[in-house]
Amino acid sequence: MTPPPGRALVEICVGDAASAVAAADAGADRLELCADLGAGGTTPSLGAVRQVLARTAVPVRVMVRPRGGGFRYDTTELAVMLDDVAALRETFGADRDRLGVVTGALTGDRSVDEDATARLVEAADPLPVVFHKAFDEVPDQARALETLAELGVAAVLTSGGAADALTGAPRLAELREQAAERLDLVAGGGVRAHNVAEVIRRSGLDQVHLRAPATDGWPEATDPALVREVLAALDRQASTLDRQASIRSRSS
């Protein structure tokens, strides 16, 4: 789903099909589907992917991560990731216009694992690949961004290396300038209704990523009210910017 003109895209991270439906029904523009959110997100089952695609109409990005913990993978783990990517591509080819892959791999010195990333991008083709927040562990983000752009990565999910996206907004703005439309940047980390407009204003990005966790019931459930609150905050921001642009136009 494309957001209204002037409003940032909202991607909601979900841990199961029911949460995906709740987020989509609340107005989410895109979903990131994971398993085991408590471990930072791992690869969901093909059944979960199938149900989310069947029960929603929004784009879905699927996490490919074999385990929680760090982002350095041995040859067996990488083989599993490549097989998972291939399974997504082959099983859901009819939905490839809605589907993407979220993954990431680092070396021992916390730089981008170029070989693993290149192989994952190749395995996913034509599905777009998003490099997840492993990016925030990389010491030299400027160099890493160049590497990812050269490897054909479609987007990077990041807080700019900071504890949260609002704190990292100045760095996000620098990365946006550097990316120069070669790949998308998605602001993620501590994004909530009370700060989402400021994250967008300070960073200049047009996509945000967040969880909307329910406070009761299943611990990985999504609270649709939180999704609506974020969307409402961004709608207000877009409306304000539109009015300001209209005033400037009339006075010029």
pLDDT at 250: 65
Below-70 pLDDT ranges, the chain: 1, 242-252
The answer to whether position 222 is within a domain reads yes
The answer to whether position 199 is within a domain reads yes
The answer to whether position 1 is within a domain reads no
Q: What is the CATH number for 57?
A: 3.20.20.380
The answer to whether position 3 is within a domain reads no
The answer to whether position 86 is within a domain reads yes
Mean pLDDT taken over the chain: 95
The answer to whether position 4 is within a domain reads no
User: What residues contact 172, with CB distance under 8 A and at least 6 apart?
Assistant: 158, 159, 160, 165, 185, 187, 202, 203, 204, 205
pLDDT at 242: 64
Could you tell me the residue range of the domain that residue 149 belongs to?
9-251
pLDDT at 27: 98
Per residue in 154-180, pLDDT (tens digit) is: 999 999 999 999 999 999 999 999 999
pLDDT at 52: 98
The answer to whether position 112 is within a domain reads yes
Instruction: Please tell me the total count of domains within the chain.
Output: 1
pTM over 0.85: yes
pLDDT at 249: 64
